[in-house]
Amino acid sequence: MGKKRVILITDGDLYALRAVEHVARKIGGRCISQSWGNPSKISGHQLVRMIMQTPHDPVLVMFDDCGFRGEGPGELAMRIVCSHRDIEVLGAIAVASKTHHSEWTKVHFSIDRYGSFTEYGIDKSGVPDFETGRINGDTVYILDELNLPIVIGIGDIGKMAGHDAVEKGAPITSMAVETILERSGYNAGIERKEKDTNQ
């Protein structure tokens, strides 16, 4: 068995849960539904057990600090998940929020609420702001130090003035997840397996 492949998502409210569950089904992966919460209520060690037990791949996991200053419960759980030797973190989706403590992280790029890629950060509504390559959010404090292969900034999952509504297929969240999978070579690995099977 290889490592479990995981995508981190820095949001955990009910809107995010519905959107992330939808995207996970769409890509044939699994959302750890118990990871939702505002703030996160499941410990990193509990999340690791859940990730390792699911037969699906990749695994989408939510983390939320609800504005906790510094390293909150969501980020502590994130650190434990990222440090596990049997987990490969493919990337993270950094979700914008109107944080009271000005937490921010660098992002490789952002996706606005219309599905356009931008070098600028993004606000909660999914509109590009004036900062290049950084985003403000509640649960992004440690993303920089985790040395992740890709971090994508987006607006508030499942919302963005209706542009990411689950009734519309959560298109912005879907695009962010699919972009991480493409950049990681995950899709190419699936295609190779299917080719080998058909030969």
Distance CA 172, CA 164 (A): 6
The per-residue pLDDT for range 104-154, each reduced to its tens digit, is 899 999 999 999 999 999 999 999 988 899 998 888 888 998 999 999 999
Entry pTM: 0.90
Q: State both tokens at 184.
A: 């990681």
What amino acid occupies position 179? Answer: T
Query: Quick check: 1 pLDDT over 70?
Result: no
Binned at pLDDT 50, 70 and 90, residue 102 comes out as low
From the number of C-beta atoms within 10 Å of its C-beta (0-12, 13-18, 19+), residue 108 rates as middle
Overall average pLDDT of the 173-193 stretch: 78
Overall average pLDDT of the 91-114 stretch: 88
Predicted local confidence at residue 104, as pLDDT: 87
Distance CA 170, CA 168 (A): 6
Binned at pLDDT 50, 70 and 90, residue 76 comes out as very high
Cα separation values, 137 from 11, 53, 62, 97, 104, Å: 9, 30, 14, 5, 6
